[in-house]
Amino acid sequence: MENFQNFKKKYLDFTPLARGGQKQVYKAESSKYGNVVVKLYFNVGDPRSEREIDIGLNKNFNNVPKIFETGYLEIEGEKTLYIVEQRVNGELLRAKIQRNDYLNLKEAVIFLEQGLTFIEQLEKENIVHRDIKPENIIVDNNGIVYFLDFGIARVLGQPSLTQTEAMFGPHTPGYAAPEQFNNLKSNIDSRTDLFSIGVVTYECITGHNPFREGAGNAMEVLQRTETITPIVFSMMGDMQKQFMALLSSLMAKYPSRRPNSANQALGWLNAAKSTFEY
């Protein structure tokens, strides 16, 4: 098993990017792969980490960075899992929102189309991402949207990694649908991701998350998610408010009131385009 210090010598500009939970992330330059991200997983054997890597390695999603290499390293005498992943040349969506770089109607349609197409690909593999949010989305220099972090993804039909009796399921307040944070496992499917992409798109055009704004803590965010109906926002070019009607349906409190699938949502979006004036 290779030592971490020797491993780093293979790369140029090996620089820390972020650390969260049991994961350390670096950016680096590889002579073999080009610009990459190196992720270290310190909790070896963690089923969520293993599931995240398995999805990245074995599913060929268009809007997900490619995993080039994976294995184990020795760090301070400990066995540590690593992956080398494609580094997207772009910007986190959160950074764009923070500098008030909001989307107009045409840009929002392109963004939502990519998000729905991504969720449609997940549907075919029985995967629910469960953590679609601005921090997990990169927009590259050509406007292509990439979705990151399958750390809390659910694979339908496989044993759940969350205890059934848990009060809350894994989630990010403000982006998770009610059935997700309430741990209603039988109700979780791709419509859960549709809720999240609806919220993110709404935030990209208005500048605020409708459930987080005005909330004092995480519990208030969850309460607002279950009770607040986001205000219909008037967008230039959305002459008949069909785009906002689609976002409202995506953010519906109950899964049964959302589109049945990403494919159906894409159909609704395509039908609405005839009413738009760019």
The answer, yes or no, to whether residue 4 has pLDDT greater than 70, is yes
* DSSP secondary structure code for residue 64 in this structure: S
For residue range 122-171, list pLDDT tens digits in order. Answer: 999 999 999 999 999 999 999 999 999 888 999 998 766 666 566 778 99
In angstroms, how far is CA 160 from the centroid of its own chain?
19
For the domain made up of 90-275, give the CATH fold.
Transferase(Phosphotransferase); domain 1 (1.10.510)
Class of domain 2-86: alpha beta
E-strand spans in 96-220? 127-128, 137-140, 145-147, 154-155
Percent of the chain residues past pLDDT 70, beyond the cut = 96
* Residue burial 167-178, b: 16+ Cβ < 10 Å; e: rest: eebbbbbbbbbb
- The sign of the dihedral angle between the CA atoms of 87, 90, 94, 99 is positive
pTM above 0.75, yes or no: yes
**Mean pLDDT along residues 74-78:** 88
Domains 2-86 and 90-275 share a fold: no
φ, ψ for residue 18 (rounded to 5)?
Answer: -165, 160
For residue range 223-270, list pLDDT tens digits in order. Answer: 999 999 998 889 999 999 999 999 999 999 999 999 999 999 999 999
For residue range 105-122, list pLDDT tens digits in order. Answer: 999 999 999 999 999 999
Give whole-number Cα distances, 220 to 217, 251, 274, 278, in Å.
5, 18, 39, 37
The answer, yes or no, to whether residue 8 has pLDDT greater than 80, is yes
